[in-house]
Structure 1
Amino acid sequence: MARDRRPSLLRRAGLRRGGADIDSARIAAAMEQLRHRGRATLHDRLHRVRMATGLAVQAGLAAALAWIVSHHLLGNPQPVFAPISAVGTLAASVGQRLRRTVELIVGVAVGVFLGDVLIYFVGTGGWQLGLVVTAAILLTIFFGASVAVVIQAAATAVLIVTLSPSTKDLEIPRFIDAFIGGGIALVVTAVLLPLNPLRVINRAARPALDLLADQLDVAAEALRRRDRDSAQRALERLRENKEELSTFTEAIEGAKETSTLSPARWHRRSELTHYAEAAEPIDRAMRNSGTLIRRSVTMIEDEEPVPEPMPDAVGHLAESVRLLRHEFAAGAETEKARERSLRAVSEAGRAYAQGVGFSGSVVIAQVRTTASDLLVASGIDQAEANRLIRESFGEQEKPNAGPAESGAAPKPPMAPPLG
C-alpha cells in the first residue's frame, strides 16, 4: 500500500511544484506590467511638466511684476488683486489670454457697480452679500456673459461687500489692479518671455499623433493574428483621445495668439497657418481610424477573411502618422508621409481585389478616408487628395463608390452575412 501511495504523493508534490511555477510566472508577468505602467505614468507626468514649465515661469514673472508695479510704483499697500489678476489671465486656456484680460476687467466693473449700488440701498451683512452675489450672476448671465465674466463679477461683488466697511475706496484699486495684472500678463507672454510657438505645437502634437499611430499599429497586428481583444483595447484607447486633441488644439490657438501679439514671433505666422489647417483633418483622421478599428473588431468576430495586404495597409497608415509628426517638427516638406499614405491605399486596393466581407469593405473604405485626411493634413487640398487616393487604389474601385472620400465603402462583390 505504501508503495502504491508514494507515487501518488510525488505526483501531487510535482503538481504543486508545477502550480507554483505557473503562479510564479503569472506573478512575474503581472509585476512586469506594473513596472511598465509605472514607467509610462512617470514618462507622461514628466512630459506634462515639460509642457507646463514655460507657463509656470511666465506666471511667476507676471505675478512678481504685478506686485512690484502695484506696490512700489502706484503705492498700493496691499497689492493682492494685481498678482491674482496676472495669474488668472495666464491660467486661461492658451490662446484666450487677450480675451480673458478683457473679461477680467468687465467682470470687475460689473461687480463693483452692483456691490456699490446694493450697499447704498440695503447696507452690508450676510443676506446682503447673498443678494449681491445672486444679482451679479443673474445680471451677467442675462447679458450673455461668459463664465469668466460671471465668476469675476460675483467674486468682486463679494470683495466689495465684505471689505468696503473696513477698507475705504476699494473700487479704484480693484479696477487698477485688474488692468495691471491682465496687462502685465500679456506683456510677459508677448514681449518678455514669448514662447516659441512651433516648439509648443510640436510638443502638444506629439501625444495626439503618437496615440493615433500606436493604436493603428496595434490594430494592424490584431488583424494579422485575429486577436479580437487586442483590437478592442486599441479602440478603447483611441476613444480616450479628447485630452490629447484638446491640448493640440489649445496649443495651436496659443501659438496663433503669440504670433499675433509678439513682434519677436511675427515671422512664424506662415508656418503656424500650416499647423492650424492641419488640426481639423487630424481630428477627422482620429475619428475615421476609430471606425476602422471598430470594424476590425467586428471583422475578427465574424471570422471574415483578412487578406494579407489589409494589416499592411493599416500599418502603413500608422507609419504615415509618425512621418507626418517628424516632418512637421523638422519643418520639412511632408513627402515621406504622403508617400506612405498612398502606399496604405495601394495595399488596401490589393486586399479588396483578393476579396473581403462586409466589415472588411468598411475597413478598406476607412483606410482610404484616413489616408485622405492625412494627405490634407500634409498640405494637399481635398480634391487633389481624393484624386491621388483613387489612382493609388487602382482598378478595383467601383464607379458607385463616389468621387469624394466620405467614408462610404466600395461595395464588395460578395459580402458574407453578419453573424
Structure 2
Amino acid sequence: MHTTVEALTELRQRSRADLSDRWRRLRGSLLFAAQAGVAASLAWLAAHYLVRHPHPYFAPIAAVIVLNVSVGQRLRRAVELLAGVALGILLGDLLIYFTGTGPWQIGVSVAFVILACVFLGGSPTVIGQAASSAVLVSTLAPPQSGIYYSRFIDAVVGGVVGVLVLALLLQINPLTVMKRAAAPAFDCLAEGLRDCARALASGSLEQAQAALNALSDADSSITRFQDALADARETATLAPVRWRARVPLTEYVDAAPHIDHALRNARVLARRTVTMIEDGEEASPNLIASLQSAAEAVAVFVRELAAGREPDRTRELTLAAVALAGEAYRRGLDFSAGVVAAQVRTIGTDLMLATGVSDRATARLIHRAAGRVPRPSRSAG
C-alpha cells in the first residue's frame, strides 16, 4: 500500500513537471507562431494583389519555410533558404516541362537540381531546400501546358516576405534576450569561484570536486550566451525599433570572449583546488578571500551590464581579488596554492578586459594590484 501511494505521488509529480514543460515550450513558441501566421497572410496578399496571381499557394509556403527553419539562426540562413526554394521551383519546373512526369523524372529532377546548386556554389542549406522544392513542384502540381514562371515568382515573393517578417516584425527586445542568456554563464562562473572558496575554507574534497564538475559543464551556457548574442545583434541591426539597443549590446559583445576565457581559467583553478585539498596544502585566509572577491566581481558585473552602468564596482572587486591573491603569494604558498593564486590573477585580467579596459591598462592595473593589499571598500549602494 505504501509503495502504491509513493508510485502515485511520483506519477502526479511527473505529470505536473511534464505539463509545466509543455506550457514553457508553448510560451517560447508564441513569437514564432505569430511571425509565421503574419508572414503567410502577407505573402498570399502580396502575391495575389501585387503580382496578380489568383492562387499563389507557393508564396505562403515559401514564407513559412524561411521562418520555420531560420528560428534561432542568422538572417543569412533565411536568405539561403529563400534562394533554395526559388531555385528548386524554377529548375524543377524547367526539367519536368521537358521530360514529363513520373517516378524517374522526379529522381532526375532532384539530381539535376542538386548538381546545379553545387555548380553555382550553393551551401548545404540551399541544396537541401532546392531539392525539396523540386520534389514539391514535381508531385504537387507538375506543369502541363507550359513553364509556370508564376510559381517561381510566388516563391520569391513569399520568401522575401518571410525574411522581412523575420527581420522587422514582432521582434522581442534583444537586451531582454541577452539578460536572460548571460545570467547562466555568469552565474556558473561566480558560483564556481565561490564554491572553490568554500571548499578551501572547509577542506571539503567533495565540494571542490562538485565545483570542478559544474565548471566543466558550463560550455552549454556559454554556447547559448554566444548564440543569443549573435541573434540579438542581428535584431538590433535590422529592426528599426531596436536600433537603440546596439550600443548596450556592444558591451555584451566585448565581454563574451573574455568571460569564456575566465571560465576556462576557473576550471584550471578548480582542478588545483581539488589537488590542494588532496595534498593537504594549507589555504590562507587571503587566498580564500581573493576567490570570494572574484566571485562577487562576476556577480556584480552581470548586474551592471543589465543595468547599463559603467562597471566600476566590478573593476574594484576584481583588483581587490588580485591584490589578496598577490599578498597570499608573497606570504608563502605551496605549489598548487600558488597556481590557484596565479589563476586568480589571470581571471582578474579576463574580467578587466571584459569590462572594456584596454590590454595595456589592464596589464598595468593588474600588476599594480598584485603588489599591494587592498583597503576595505564600501559596497555599491
TM-score, normalised by the number of residues in structure 1: 0.74
Conserved in 1, the CA contact under 8 Å of 2:319 and 2:348?
yes
Structure 2 equivalent of residue 96 of structure 1: 74
Q: Deviations over 1:80-137 (max 9, x none)?
A: 552453453364254612x133212321343235424543565433344334334444
Q: Which amino acid is 1:354 matched to?
A: R
Out of 239, 246, 250, the position equivalent to 1:273 is 250
The farther-off stretch of 307-316 and 147-156 is 307-316
Conserved in 2, the CA contact under 8 Å of 1:85 and 1:177?
no
Using the TM superposition, give the Cα deviation of residue 291 of structure 1 relative to its aligned residue in structure 2, in angstroms.
1.8
Matched, 1:152 2:152: no
Structure 1 equivalent of residue 237 of structure 2: 260
- Equivalent residues in 2 for 1:384-395 (5 A)? 384-394=361-371
Conserved in 1, the CA contact under 8 Å of 2:44 and 2:60?
yes
Matched, 1:214 2:197: no
Conserved in 2, the CA contact under 8 Å of 1:105 and 1:175?
no
Alpha-carbon spacing, 1:226–1:160, altered in 2? closer, same or farther (3 Å): same
Out of 60, 63, 68, the position equivalent to 1:85 is 63
The farther-off stretch of 271-280 and 159-168 is 159-168
Out of 315, 324, 330, the position equivalent to 1:347 is 324
Structure 1 equivalent of residue 378 of structure 2: none
- Equivalent residues in 2 for 1:44-63 (5 A)? 53-63=30-40
Q: Deviations over 1:54-102 (max 9, x none)?
A: 44543443334334444566545362552453453364254612x1332
Conserved in 2, the CA contact under 8 Å of 1:231 and 1:293?
yes
Q: Work out the CA distance in 2 between the residues paired with 1:95 and 1:198.
A: 17
Conserved in 2, the CA contact under 8 Å of 1:215 and 1:234?
yes
Conserved in 2, the CA contact under 8 Å of 1:314 and 1:344?
yes
Using the TM superposition, give the Cα deviation of residue 317 of structure 1 relative to its aligned residue in structure 2, in angstroms.
1.8
Conserved in 1, the CA contact under 8 Å of 2:216 and 2:267?
yes
- Equivalent residues in 2 for 1:317-396 (5 A)? 317-394=294-371
Using the TM superposition, give the Cα deviation of residue 265 of structure 1 relative to its aligned residue in structure 2, in angstroms.
2.5
Q: Work out the CA distance in 1 between the residues paired with 2:196 and 2:81.
A: 47
Out of 284, 287, 294, the position equivalent to 2:261 is 284
Q: Deviations over 1:8-35 (max 9, x none)?
A: xxxxxxxxxxxxxxxxxxxxxxx9xxx9
Using the TM superposition, give the Cα deviation of residue 229 of structure 1 relative to its aligned residue in structure 2, in angstroms.
2.7
Q: Which amino acid is 1:273 matched to?
A: T
Matched, 1:129 2:102: no
Q: Deviations over 1:348-406 (max 9, x none)?
A: 1122123223322222222111111111111111221121111111169xxxxxxxxxx
Identity of aligned residues (%): 43
**Alignment partner of 1:145: what SS?**
coil
Alpha-carbon spacing, 1:315–1:127, altered in 2? closer, same or farther (3 Å): farther
Q: Work out the CA distance in 2 between the residues paired with 1:294 and 1:146.
A: 42
Using the TM superposition, give the Cα deviation of residue 252 of structure 1 relative to its aligned residue in structure 2, in angstroms.
2.1
Alpha-carbon spacing, 1:181–1:118, altered in 2? closer, same or farther (3 Å): closer
Q: Work out the CA distance in 1 between the residues paired with 2:89 and 2:169.
A: 32
Conserved in 2, the CA contact under 8 Å of 1:310 and 1:347?
yes
Structure 1 equivalent of residue 174 of structure 2: 197
Using the TM superposition, give the Cα deviation of residue 335 of structure 1 relative to its aligned residue in structure 2, in angstroms.
0.9
Measured on the aligned residues, the alpha-carbon RMSD in Å equals 3.5
Q: Which amino acid is 1:233 matched to?
A: A
Alpha-carbon spacing, 1:268–1:304, altered in 2? closer, same or farther (3 Å): same
Conserved in 2, the CA contact under 8 Å of 1:51 and 1:203?
no
Using the TM superposition, give the Cα deviation of residue 225 of structure 1 relative to its aligned residue in structure 2, in angstroms.
2.0
Using the TM superposition, give the Cα deviation of residue 254 of structure 1 relative to its aligned residue in structure 2, in angstroms.
2.1
Q: Work out the CA distance in 2 between the residues paired with 1:72 and 1:361.
A: 74
Q: List alignment gaps of at least 5 residues for structure 1.
A: 1-30, 397-419
Alpha-carbon spacing, 1:286–1:58, altered in 2? closer, same or farther (3 Å): farther
Conserved in 2, the CA contact under 8 Å of 1:95 and 1:257?
no
Alpha-carbon spacing, 1:57–1:290, altered in 2? closer, same or farther (3 Å): farther
Structure 2 equivalent of residue 105 of structure 1: 82
Larger radius of gyration: 1
Q: Which amino acid is 1:130 matched to?
A: G
Using the TM superposition, give the Cα deviation of residue 292 of structure 1 relative to its aligned residue in structure 2, in angstroms.
1.6
Structure 2 equivalent of residue 299 of structure 1: 276
Q: Deviations over 1:253-287 (max 9, x none)?
A: 22222222222222332222222222211221122
**Alignment partner of 2:292: what SS?**
helix
Using the TM superposition, give the Cα deviation of residue 247 of structure 1 relative to its aligned residue in structure 2, in angstroms.
2.3
Q: Which amino acid is 2:208 matched to?
A: A
Q: Which amino acid is 2:364 matched to?
A: R
Structure 2 equivalent of residue 246 of structure 1: 223
Conserved in 2, the CA contact under 8 Å of 1:85 and 1:104?
no
Q: Work out the CA distance in 2 between the residues paired with 1:76 and 1:364.
A: 73
Q: List alignment gaps of at least 5 residues for structure 2.
A: 1-8, 374-381
The farther-off stretch of 270-279 and 364-373 is 270-279
TM-score, normalised by the number of residues in structure 2: 0.81
